[in-house]
Amino acid sequence: MKLVYPVLWSRPGRKACQEQTANTTAALARLGWDVTLLVPQGPEDPALDADAVRGWFQVRGEIKVLQRPSKWAGESAWRSAHWLRQVFADPALGGADLLYSRAPVMLAMGAGSPIPFVTDHYRPWPDDWPWLRPLIRHTTRNRRSLGVILHSGFTAESYARAGVLPEQLLVAHNGADAERMRAPLSKADARAKLGLPPDRSIAVYAGRVNAQKGLDQILALADLRPETLFLLVGSEGDGPIESAARSRSNVTVFPWQEPDALPLFLWAADVTLIPASSQPLEQFGNCVLPMKSFAYLAAGRPILAPRAPDTAELLRHEENALLVSPGAPEEAASALDRILGDPEFAAHLGEGARVSANSLSWDARAAKIATFVQDRIYTMNTRT
């Protein structure tokens, strides 16, 4: 299978969407697919090759990288629409079997693709923007459309309600790098490497540090439990969360970590945290089944998280996580006490997380996508 994947960025960055693209395409390449990333390049953008992309995202897989002169890099609908028009005319598509993209505008523009196409995305756009539903139905029923690959069942239900045919929907959860997590360090060894106190209770959040992630709830939890050390791992500057953390002696902020370095922080934790807030999902819409969930599960540490419709398909109360009501710091504090005060229960949650992670790797995702794509192409060919 020869796949062309146009990206919206002109240089590697730290956003989860880029990490997801790199890991998905690398895993497909490890399956034996011929994968080419098509990258827009402006006059100020550096030259990129496959080694640079693999090195930045620390992924394994024989991907290819083709840069194309373009002024349309960026995630806005306007820029991505112009970039996709350029992609549709690119000679790289001439010998390709599949155009694979996570650009949202593909859901409205895909009919312009000269080859079979599939869209990979995480947001429930038909619910967020109901006026898009006719466009999405029109695009997915185009003769070249294989369908839509969604990161969660929560999102897939949105597309089903919009009228996308069931056979065109695939739920393919993201994952963790199984190789990276294969040989976990003990809590003591991880803390020693990071210079963290060996005997203090530690709760870790690993993700982007900004107000849209609901981190006010972790700060409120920290105020209620001053004896616990809270680590916020993933800062990229000095914003309001970093400023608020400085006023609390039991909150420490760490900068963004390279993928290979992040597991140390998770292994050092007594508890890993998904902020008990509904805002990332309901208000900002930019955090649907967050990717940190998969790293947390693979780390095999107890998870404290909110009850939410997206994470509910992976996180099960008292089995692989302890779930609390969003926006209720006192309830979250009591749940934290339960985990920290009951080593057997904490070990039970950690083992449940580790077992759940066994089927949630990037390679497992790639295998599911490959089966879906091949089945859909076969169906498309038998109908023509």
Per-residue pLDDT tens digits for 149-158: 999 999 999 9
d(CA 93, CA 115): 7
The 3-state DSSP class for residue 382 equals helix
In this chain, the answer to whether the domains covering 2-175+362-383 and 187-357 adopt an identical fold is: yes
The 3-state DSSP class for residue 170 equals strand
Per-residue pLDDT tens digits for 296-323: 999 999 999 999 998 999 999 999 999 9
Annotation: CATH topology of 187-357: Rossmann fold (3.40.50)
Distance linking the first and last C-alpha atoms of the chain: 20
Helix/strand number for the chain, H first, E second: 16, 13
Q: Structure pTM?
A: 0.94
From residue 193, give the alpha-carbon distance in Å to each of 2, 197, 250: 43, 11, 20
Per-residue pLDDT tens digits for 24-45: 999 999 999 999 999 999 999 9
Q: How confident is the model at residue 176 (pLDDT cuts 50, 70, 90)?
A: very high
Q: Does domain 2-175+362-383 have CATH number 3.40.50.2000?
A: yes
From residue 247, give the alpha-carbon distance in Å to each of 13, 232, 237, 242, 377: 30, 14, 17, 9, 57
DSSP string of 24-61, one letter each residue: HHHHHHHTT-EEEEEEEE-TTSPP--HHHHHHHHT--S
The 3-state DSSP class for residue 185 equals coil
Block residue for tokens 């790289």:
92
Per-residue pLDDT tens digits for 53-65: 999 999 999 999 9
d(CA 126, CA 171): 16
Per-residue pLDDT tens digits for 187-215: 999 999 999 999 999 999 999 998 888 99
Cross-sheet strand order for the sheet of 303-306: 251-255, 229-235, 202-206, 271-273, 303-306, 322-324
DSSP string of 278-321, one letter each residue: SHIIIII---SS-THHHHHHHHT--EEEE--TTGGGT--BTTTB
Per-residue pLDDT tens digits for 64-122: 999 999 999 999 999 999 999 999 999 999 999 999 999 999 999 999 999 999 999 99
**Domain coordinates of the chain in residue numbers?**
2-175+362-383, 187-357
- CA dihedral sign, ordered 133, 134, 136, 140: positive
Contact 287, 279 (CB under 8 A): no
Per-residue pLDDT tens digits for 212-226: 889 999 999 999 999
